Structure 1
């Protein structure tokens, strides 16, 4: 949405759910659903 480019906190909340399901140990840094700073997220096998 225009005007919401700087509001990225909702992405962190949204990706927390899939990250909990995909990662073996969600308490450690992710191995599969990776954050790409300034871009988005990337899924890596």
Structure 2
């Protein structure tokens, strides 16, 4: 999918911009939560 078709799709479906942003935030939070439980013993 090219950048132009993504821009066109999001221009035609503005609610998807919010959905994609929300998914990005949730994935970021899940990554941070998973990383905080990771313990490394040693230097």
Q: TM-score range by the shorter chain?
A: 0.3 to 0.5
TM-score w.r.t. length of structure 1: 0.32
More strand per residue: 1 or 2? 1
Point out the structure with the larger helix share. 2
Larger Rg: 2
TM-score by length of 2: 0.33
